[in-house]
Structure 1
Amino acid sequence: MFEKILYVILGWLLGLLGPIVTDQIKSLLRRREFVSALKVELEDLQFRLAISSLSLLQSHGTLDKDFATWALRIASRYSGSEPSSNIVRFLEGFVSASDETVRNLNEHARAADGVGASLKSFQVSFLENNIPEIQKLNPAVQRKLYEFRNQLSIINRDVARSDDYLMLTFNSSLTSDNHKRITDDLGRLYQQVQRRTKDAADRIGSILPDLK
C-alpha cells in the first residue's frame, strides 16, 4: 500500500516538474544557439575592424611591426567568409621585412595629400535583433557588450562625419584656406577612426572568451 502511494506521489511530482525541466532545457539550448551565432558575428566584425584600422593606418599614418603583429594575430585565426589569405601573407612579410622595406611599403601605401578614403559603417544585426538574450548572460559580459555597442555607435558616427567632410573637399566654391582646413580635419578624423576601430577589435577580443 505504501509503495503504491509512493508511486502516485512520484508520478505527480514528475508531471508537475516535467514542463519546468523541459522549459529549462529549451532555454539552455536557445542560449547556446544565441552564444554560438553571436561569436560568429563578433569574430567576423573583429576581423573587419582590424582590417579597416590597418588600411587607415597605411593610408593616413605609418604602419609599424607592432601593429602588423597585432593585426596578424586576428587575421591568422579568422575563419569566416571574408577573404583573408592575402592579408595574412602581406602581414607575415611585413613583420619579417627589413627597416628599409618597411619604409618603402609605407611610402607606397600612404595616400597623397588631400586624398580621402571611403569608409563603411559597422553593423551587428544579430546582436541588435536579440537584445533580450543579452540579459540572460553573465552580468560582466552584458556590461562589455553594452559598452561595445556604444563604442561601435561612436565609430559609425565618425564614419558618417568623414563622409560629410570628404564631400566638402569636392566643393569648388571653397577658398584654399577653407579647403586645407577641411582636409586637415578629415585627416585627423581618419586617425581617430583608426584608433577607435583598433580599440573596438580589442574589445571584441576581451568578450569572446567570456561567451560560454
Structure 2
Amino acid sequence: MELQFRFTLVGFSLGQKYGSMDKDYLRKIRKVICKQNQPDKNVAVIKLLDMLIASDESQFKTTVEMFKADENMSVGLKKYSTALMDSSSAQIAKLPIDIQSKLYELKNILNIYNQEVDWTREHFKLTFDSSLTSDNHKKVCSDLRARYADMQGVCNRASDKIQEILECKV
C-alpha cells in the first residue's frame, strides 16, 4: 500500500506540473491517499484535492494552469527496486495464476518506470550542455517535459495494478 501511495503522489506531482488532470482523476487519487494509515500527514494534499474537486470549471482550469512547471524545472524522481520480487519467485509461483500474472505485470511496470527515470536523468543533464545549439536545447527540454507527462501514465498504471493486487483473494 505504501508503494501505491508513493506512485499516486508521484503521478499527481507529474500531472500537476507536466501532465493532465481532471476531477475524476483527482477523486481516484484522493481515495488512495485517504487509505493511508496516517491520513493526518496528508491533510494538505487532501485539502488541495477537495478544493480542486469542489471548484467550478473555470476555477479548476485556472488553478491547474498555475501548477504547471516552469520551462527549466525538473522533478527528482526515485527508482524502485524489483529485487524482492526477483528473489521471491519461488513463493510467487505458489500463488494463484491470476495473482502471479498481476505481480509480474507490476514488475514490468516498475521496470518501465525505472527506465524512464534513467532517461529523464540523462536528458536533464543535457539541458546544462553548453555545446548544444539553441534549437537542440529547446528540443531536449520539450522531449523532457513530454516524457515527464508520459510518466504520469506509468505511475497511474502502477497504482492501479497495485490496487488490483490488493483486491485479490488468496
TM-score norm. by structure 1 comes to 0.74
1:55 to 13, 16, 21: 13
Instruction: Give 2:49's aligned residue.
Output: 91
**1:122 Cα shift?**
2.2
Is residue 2:29 matched to residue 1:68?
A: no
String of CA shifts for 1:133-183, please: whole Å, max 9, x gaps: 111111110111011101110111001100110111011221101101111
Q: Report the aligned-residue RMSD.
A: 1.9
Structure 1: which 5+ runs fail to align? 1-42
CA distance in 2, matches of 1:182, 1:90: 32
**1:211 Cα shift?**
4.7
TM-score norm. by structure 2 comes to 0.91
Between the two structures, name the one with larger relative contact order (CA 8 Å, sep ≥ 6). 2
CA distance in 2, matches of 1:61, 1:196: 12
CA distance in 2, matches of 1:81, 1:133: 32
Matched residue type, 1:60: Y
Percent of residue pairs bearing the same amino acid type: 29
Matched residue type, 2:164: S
CA distance in 2, matches of 1:88, 1:125: 32
Q: Report if aligned partners of 2:17, 2:69 keep a CA contact under 8 Å in 1.
A: yes
Instruction: Give 2:74's aligned residue.
Output: 116
Instruction: Give 1:78's aligned residue.
Output: 36
Structure having the higher Rg:
1
Instruction: Give 2:167's aligned residue.
Output: 209
SS at match of 2:116: helix
Q: Report if aligned partners of 1:44, 1:80 keep a CA contact under 8 Å in 2.
A: no
Q: Report if aligned partners of 1:75, 1:88 keep a CA contact under 8 Å in 2.
A: yes
**1:197 Cα shift?**
0.8
Which structure 2 residues correspond to residues 97-176 of structure 1 after superposition, within 5 A? 97-124=55-82, 126-176=84-134
SS at match of 2:73: coil
SS at match of 1:84: helix
Structure 2: which 5+ runs fail to align? none
